[in-house]
Amino acid sequence: MSEVVLEARDLKKYYPVKKGVLQRTIGHVKAVDKVSFELHAGETLGIVGESGCGKSTLGRLLVQLERPTEGKVLLEGRELKTDQELREMRRDVQIVFQDPYTSLNPRMTVGDIIAEPLLIHKKDLGLKGTERARVQELLEQVGLNPEHINRYPHQFSGGQRQRIGIARGIALNPKVLVCDEPVSALDVSVQAQVVNLLERLQRELGLAYVFIAHDLAVVRHISHRVAVMYLGQIAEQGEADQIYSHPMHPYTQALMSAAPVPDPVIQAQRERIVLSGDVPSPANPPTGCRFHTRCWKAKTGTCDVNVPVLEHKGKADHMVACHFAEELTSVTA
């Protein structure tokens, strides 16, 4: 396997909950709670989970838009401490945001938007006035017309705006691109165009992606490895095909079975697990296994007391955090 480019080690992000006139901290929202993983060069790690599971916070931690409460992000094995190190790191780890409507400044031209990272890192990169040519090259690379460099974001459709966001993300030749729900705001026919673009760029530039999404089918399509998050923690992690064909964590199984397959014949044969209830509040997560309140396999005395550890089970690289992990193969078959 290729080298590790990005590593998260016991990452935690707690947001304080304040109350009253004195704004005293009365508790914490544990958005990300002890998450560790490795990202290898040129691979795609998909992160799935329901809203509020902390997947977007994790993405922001990886690009250091948020500083972790505890834990570290290592870039090629190096820890980042000084501002100078962070600045260098930001060249290598870039992000594409979910909403192509709010993540582009409406008062800047597309050329300026894409050139901005180049200008910020101009000194470090030793650039001298060649940004325009580079921007046009980038526009072409993401399938936009280079002549439209002087247009404004509102003159583009959603899919095209997402392409602009991607062009900005790859402007500095990063090693890692964190994509936070990059296609969920797009129409299905346009979604495929953007997914194909991301795959092509990965082949051409050797990028590694952290692909955060709630759409399980898209994640399966684009990812080599997948991590399933629940309430700020990774419940299951492993090779994409392995996770999708042999999910071991009950939450993954429920998630897979709830996602519809676009084929009425197959859909009618699938076994459905409909979870009851909603995701508990991350400010007050359940004791023991965080999933036990919605889990149909939970046993009192074990699941509500002991916290399960994310450990290797089944095939290599397949990690599950469940006391009673067992295979349930019929769910997606």
What is residue 74's three-state secondary structure?
Answer: strand
Taking CB under 8 A as the criterion, which residues in 239-278 touch another protein? 240-241, 244, 254-267, 272, 274-276, 278
Rank residues 133 and 261 by Cβ distance to another protein and give the closer one: 261
Q: Can you tell me the distance from the alpha carbon of 41 to that of 1, in angstroms, rounded to the nearest whole number?
A: 9
What does DSSP assign to residue 261? Answer: P
* Stretch touching another protein by CB under 8 A, among 39-47, 57-65, 164-172, 187-195: 187-195
191 binds another protein, rule: CB under 8 A:
yes
Tell the smallest beta-carbon distance from residue 127 to another protein (Å).
Answer: 27
Residues of the chain by 3-state class (helix, strand, coil), percent to 5:
35, 25, 45
106 binds another protein, rule: CB under 8 A:
no
What tokens were used for 108? 């800047």
Rank residues 264 and 301 by Cβ distance to another protein and give the closer one: 264
166 binds another protein, rule: CB under 8 A:
no
Taking CB under 8 A as the criterion, which residues in 38-57 touch another protein? 50-51
Q: Can you tell me the distance from the alpha carbon of 3 to that of 75, in angstroms, rounded to the nearest whole number?
A: 11
Tell the smallest beta-carbon distance from residue 48 to another protein (Å).
Answer: 9
What tokens were used for 320? 């599950």
Tell the smallest beta-carbon distance from residue 217 to another protein (Å).
Answer: 4
Per rule CB under 8 A, count of chain residues that contact another protein: 58
Tell the smallest beta-carbon distance from residue 145 to another protein (Å).
Answer: 5
What tokens were used for 111? 């050329």
* Stretch touching another protein by CB under 8 A, among 17-25, 38-46, 190-198, 312-320: 190-198
CB 297 within 8 A of CB 324: yes
* Stretch touching another protein by CB under 8 A, among 73-81, 84-92, 140-148, 319-327: 140-148
Q: In 3D, which of 176, 167, 4, 9 has the Cα closest to residue 100?
A: 167
Q: In 3D, which of 247, 249, 274 has the Cα closest to residue 260?
A: 274
Q: In 3D, which of 207, 201, 161, 151 has the Cα closest to residue 182?
A: 161
Q: Can you tell me the distance from the alpha carbon of 172 to that of 232, in angstroms, rounded to the nearest whole number?
A: 31
Tell the smallest beta-carbon distance from residue 49 to another protein (Å).
Answer: 9
Helices in the chain by DSSP H: which ranges?
55-62, 83-92, 110-120, 122-125, 131-141, 158-170, 188-205, 216-222, 240-245, 250-258, 264-269
* Stretch touching another protein by CB under 8 A, among 22-30, 155-163, 284-292, 307-315: 155-163
Binding site for another protein (CB under 8 A): 50-51, 143-145, 148, 151, 154-160, 185-193, 195-196, 199, 214, 216-218, 220-222, 240-241, 244, 254-267, 272, 274-276, 278-279, 332-333
